[in-house]
A and B are shown apart, each in its own frame.
Chain A
């Protein structure tokens, strides 16, 4: 994956497939601890211990169209090669939490990428799922919550093309403001 945003898009698709009704995504840059953490938490179907133990194996997948499942292994590899860490916890029937920590100053830590565009694409392509995105940097915090957005929009659909573009601009602009680069 080329950037952090692509990883987030990828891992969040697992939550969509797990039939989550609520997906929380957090992006946290902490220069004091030299760390960049992403967390994706859902209330989907979860996994039992046997399945959970196998998800970091690239030759394990729940799909039937192909025999490999690379999303989680790629994120784990990318995080660990920066000196960071990866963890996944899950309970059947309750949901799953994926956390990856990168060492912020490491050469191998991928660039952030288009987090705003990514989160909005996820939220608008899955209008029935509630998305909460938290973007935290040394400058402050921005929260994008689709409940608020849907309230504001009333009966205008969130996946209307002009709304999607407007939302992307909204989130990108707020992230830009918190950007420390």
Chain B
């Protein structure tokens, strides 16, 4: 892959992305995207939430998932950082705790792709046997 070093390189990437965007249906507007909010307060950052956020950004596209990855503050679950709140369109938000990059991968493969719940939901109301 060519290096990206200047705004003109960025322009090249932009036109590639734009082509894909134009191909998409209107149904993929922002309100219909999956919202992933990574808690990024002192507690989250110290627990590695930046790596978690980067993991989602780098691995969602390759799994064919369109999502908006953003940040939120501390939700009071400092003991379970990094925490991530995921809202699928038309569904209630779910908060996952202890989301290391490995857990993020599990969430992508199970919850995001197949609506299958995984352990680590806060408050704890779901266990696998």
Contacts and interface: CB of A to CB of B under 8 A. Distances in A.
Contact of A6 (B46, B54, B75): B46
A156 B41 contact: no
A164 B69 contact: yes
Given A121-B54, A153-B14, A165-B57, A74 B42 contact: yes
Contacts of A117: 50, 54
A180 interface: no
Given A10-B42, A170-B4, A170-B9, A162 B17 contact: yes
State the main secondary structure of chain B at its contact with A. helix
Interface string B59-79: 011000011111101111010
Interface stretch (A21-29, A64-72, A95-103): A64-72
Given A10-B41, A117-B54, A167-B10, A65 B76 contact: yes
A126 interface: yes
Interface string B4-18: 111101110110111
B112 interface: no
A118 B76 CA distance: 23
A118 B40 contact: no
A149 B21 CA distance: 18
B114 to A, nearest CB: 20
Interface of A: 1-2, 5-6, 9-10, 13, 16-17, 63, 65-66, 69-71, 74, 114, 117-118, 121-122, 125-126, 148-149, 152-156, 159-170, 173-174
Interface of B: 3-7, 9-11, 13-14, 16-18, 21, 40-43, 45-46, 50, 53-54, 57-58, 60-61, 66-71, 73-76, 78
